[in-house]
Amino acid sequence: MAKLFRAVIMGPPGSGKGTISERIAQSFGLKHLSSGDFLRENIAANTEAGVLAKTYIERGLMVPDNVMTRLLLPRLEEMTRHSWLMDGFPCTLAQAKALNSTCDLDLVISLNIPYETLKDRLSDRWIHPASGRVYNRGFNPPRVQGRDDLSGEPLIQHDNDQPEALVARLRHYKDVAKPVIDLYKSKGILHTFSGTETDRIWPYINSLLSTKIPSRPETDTQHIPMP
Ligand SMILES: Nc1ncnc2c1ncn2[C@H]1C[C@H](O)[C@@H](COP(=O)(O)OP(=O)(O)OP(=O)(O)O)O1
Ligand SMILES: Nc1nc2c(ncn2[C@@H]2O[C@H](COP(=O)(O)OP(=O)(O)O)[C@@H](O)[C@H]2O)c(=O)[nH]1
């Protein structure tokens, strides 16, 4: 079996983690795991962790580390046959240490995007709340304005994506992410990408991953029978 590949993508809100994760998943056959998606699934299924997490998310707060690790680590432990890319976790040092005790990461991508760019993107981010799919009127507009492409349901904007909330969110990100970034730097697995446009950053990420993942993982490869 091809060697499994485990990666994490980090960056402030609006840096393009979700957008780039989708491209990586498509190009390299990794499973895109998202902490936000796990939380939404657990909230929808009314699990114990989901009910607890909801009380924090509704107040615009981060979910406590012990709830996040209780929720995510068992899911990762189950993924013994898959290569994956995790988006949104770890975001604190405690989460990173817990992840470290579960698996060895091959690579960490950190996105470094200027404040003005984040502000512009997030003030125009439209979200389909049930799925977490995101749109941006300039960059990837929905086919029908204000509606999700797949379900046709209405899109919403989050108050905390608006500029008034962004400075505090970014300050919080910088404070909690710094020790995580330092940890991955010391392990020699951190790769930082800077820029204002996803389309210009993507080729660099693509070529880095091409050197690390020689072929699509076996589990995702289609076997075409010989004629
Ligand atoms: N690793 C985590 N630790 C604690 N709370 C988390 C974590 N990941 C997600 N959450 C919480 C806080 C978020 O408000 C909520 C939804 O997450 P997510 O869908 O990633 O949206 P977000 O809009 O806050 O992130 P971003 O702006 O970076 O995309 O879940
Ligand atoms: N204008 C513009 N918008 C982008 C670009 N890359 C991503 N976006 C949009 O910016 C917003 C934030 O991207 P997202 O992937 O959700 O970032 P995340 O918060 O780090 O997961 C979304 O509305 C994306 O559609 C870009 O290069 N230019």
What ipTM score was computed for the predicted complex, to two decimals?
0.96
Name the residue among 86, 110, 101 with its Cα closest to residue 37.
Answer: 86
Q: Take atom 1 of ligand 2 and give the residue whose Cα is closest.
A: 139
Which residues make beta-bridge pairs with 125?
Answer: 136
Which amino acid, residue 10? M
Q: pLDDT per residue over 65-112, tens digit each? A: 999 999 999 999 888 888 999 999 999 999 999 999 999 999 999 999
86 CA from centroid of ligand 1 (Å): 12
Q: Is the pLDDT of residue 25 over 90?
A: yes
Tell whether pTM > 0.80.
yes
Q: pLDDT per residue over 114-143, tens digit each? A: 999 999 999 999 999 888 899 998 899 999
Residues whose CB is less than 8 angstroms from the CB of residue 31 and which lie 6 or more positions away in sequence, other chains included: 25, 79, 82, 83, 84, 85
Determine whether the shortest distance from the Cβ of 16 to ligand 1 is under 6 A: no
DSSP code per residue over 96-130? HHHHHHH---SEEEEEE--HHHHHHHHHTEEEETT
Q: Take atom 1 of ligand 1 and give the residue whose Cα is closest.
A: 89
Q: Where are the beta strands (DSSP E) in the chain?
A: 6-10, 31-34, 84-87, 107-112, 125-128, 133-136, 190-194
Q: Is 35 annotated as a binding residue?
A: yes
Q: In this structure, which ligand is nearest to the CA of 110?
A: 2
Domains of the chain: 6-218 (3.40.50.300)
